[in-house]
Amino acid sequence: MKEKTRTVLFWFILIQPFLDLYWFYHGKLADVLPFTLPTIIRILAVFVIFCMFFSQKQNWQKLGKNKWLLFYLALLIIYSALHLLHVKHFNSVNPNDYNYSTVSEIFYLIRMILPLLVIFFTTELDFTRDQFRHVIEGISGLFSFTIVISNLFVISLRSYETGPISANIFEWFFNPNIGYSHMASKGFFNFANMVSAVLFMLVPLMLYFMFSHFNWKTVTLNIVQALAMIELGTKVALIGLIGGIIIGILLYVFHLFIVKDVTKNGKAILVALLIEIGAMAIIPFGPAIQRYNYEKFLAQQSDNSLTVAKKELTAGLKKYPSGKKRKQFLTEFIEEHYQDYALSKKFVTKSYPYKYDPKLWLKIMNEPGTARMQNRHVEKAMLDQVVKTNNNKLDMFLGISYTRETNIFNLERDFTSQIYSLGWIGMLLFVGQYVAIMLYAFVKWLMNKKKRTYLISSMLLSIAFMLFAAFSSGNVMDFLTASFILAFVEGGLLVEIKAKN
């Protein structure tokens, strides 16, 4: 039964890219059931694995002896009950209370527990190194080949905005006026940032496989993944590729000359360096650099073109120093000029509607263009105002709810995002565990020379990359595709750390 359970979990992790296809979250497939189809499939799959694992009596007995795990489960249950009671009552300027739903919040808490269960099952089922390698290479191949092939045939979805791309990678070099949003490709997946974070995480592991199992397959997978990360066109993918390869090579050199647990592989080093050089040559023509230059230009243009609007605003505020007429003037001014200030229509009209609280938007409009165009800055400003309006000190510890936060806007900075939605306690219980496991393994790596293997080092670096991507770009820890893959790697790391030498 243990082997069967391991096989089910193996294939379940391997199919995660398929469960992130765009059409599951948009269009008819997204409206078939109250919750998205991939989430329901994942809940059912984890439930099946749970039943298979605990159908063996010895596993129940083993769980009963693990007092720390039982204590942690008790904390999760107590926190969840307190969180649901706390977020039920809320003060807001928005009459619809940001569409809060207790059912949706319970569903979210269940979702957050699923990857934690995967860590537990992966650890207990003792995956072999070959099985671990096959899963990681499979995930890399499914994401990367989909992006690269769909880009080649110009059928990929855009990483930014909606619809298909307008040009493939070959056209980048001949037409500089394509525009980054028409170039950046995410294949057929839902969130470009999430895919970028996963591929960033896989860079050290894919390099490890190439250095330790050098063959045409590992070389091809590394090259295709590098191309996919360039074509994604996100900052995370760009930094992850360039920085990840350099750090990955340095890690190999550290183990070659300092730890001395690997043999020299000149061919693999040469391939890794050629991938880095090739990436550096392509990137100046790619969407990531074009986006950076465009946003910088747009911020400067916005600041330079606001002279008339700023005069109108100053005159209006002077004419209406207080009262209803001041609010009416501000409301009308924001409606007419928010685009001049390069503010997102979704933020101003839907996330935190200007008609309910024009003062916030006045404050943001008075900031420099570089600040106004930083989505994370504006997202945080909206959430801070919501928390301030509710005026409940317990929000810091128990959150304002994931449902409210995402209906405002899902802050693109994990860990900070969960502090808003779940509070400090919930963040530590649900997503702090990923950091805790990494730190635990790192301490073991430092203290025990026999645990200082190239594989464990690569796993630690991989997890650190994912957590960095989650904090810097968001859309990772709350999205099951990424969190399941991260959970599987962390489970594999614990297996290696606990294994007898």
Q: What amino acid is encoded at 101 in this protein? A: S
Rounded CA separation 184/192 (Å):
9
Long-range contacts of 252-261 (CB under 8 A, 24+ apart): 252/207, 252/211, 252/454, 254/457, 255/454, 255/457, 259/452, 259/453, 259/454, 261/452, 261/453, 261/454
Q: Is 144 exposed, middle or buried (0-12, 13-18, 19+ CB in 10 A)?
A: buried
Tokens of 380: 């945080």
Helix, strand, or coil (residue 374):
coil
Phi/psi for 233 (5° steps) reads 75, 15
Low-confidence ranges of the chain (pLDDT < 50): none
The pLDDT, as a whole number, for residue 30 is 67
Rounded CA separation 255/457 (Å):
9
The pLDDT, as a whole number, for residue 302 is 63
Beta bridge partners of 189: 21
Helix, strand, or coil (residue 191):
coil
Q: Both ends of the chain: CA-CA distance in Å?
A: 26
Residues 377/409, Cβ–Cβ less than 8 Å: no
The pLDDT, as a whole number, for residue 435 is 96
483: which residues sit within 8 A by CB, 6+ positions away?
Answer: 114, 115, 476, 477
- CA nearest 107: which of 35, 59, 58? 35
Rounded CA separation 495/488 (Å):
11
Tokens of 155: 């059928």
The pLDDT, as a whole number, for residue 481 is 95
Tokens of 44: 């059912």
Rounded CA separation 461/445 (Å):
12
pTM, two decimal places: 0.93
What Cα–Cα distance (Å) separates residue 269 from each residue in 207, 219, 290? 9, 11, 30
Q: What is the enclosing helix (H) or strand (E) of 110?
A: helix 102-125
- CA nearest 208: which of 255, 175, 170, 155? 255
Rounded CA separation 368/41 (Å):
46
What Cα–Cα distance (Å) separates residue 105 from each residue in 63, 87, 112, 161? 28, 9, 11, 28
What DSSP assignment string belongs to 114-170?
Answer: HHHHHHHHHHHHT--HHHHHHHHHHHHHHHHHHHHHHHHTT-PBBSSSSSB-S--GG
What is the residue whose two structure tokens read 């500089």? 176
Rounded CA separation 139/15 (Å):
8
The pLDDT, as a whole number, for residue 34 is 65
Rounded CA separation 104/110 (Å):
10
Q: What is the enclosing helix (H) or strand (E) of 91?
A: none
Rounded CA separation 299/131 (Å):
49
- CA nearest 157: which of 27, 21, 17, 31? 21
Helix, strand, or coil (residue 21):
strand
pLDDT tens digits, 379-414: 999 999 999 999 999 999 999 999 999 998 888 899
Rounded CA separation 179/235 (Å):
16
419: which residues sit within 8 A by CB, 6+ positions away?
Answer: 396, 399, 427
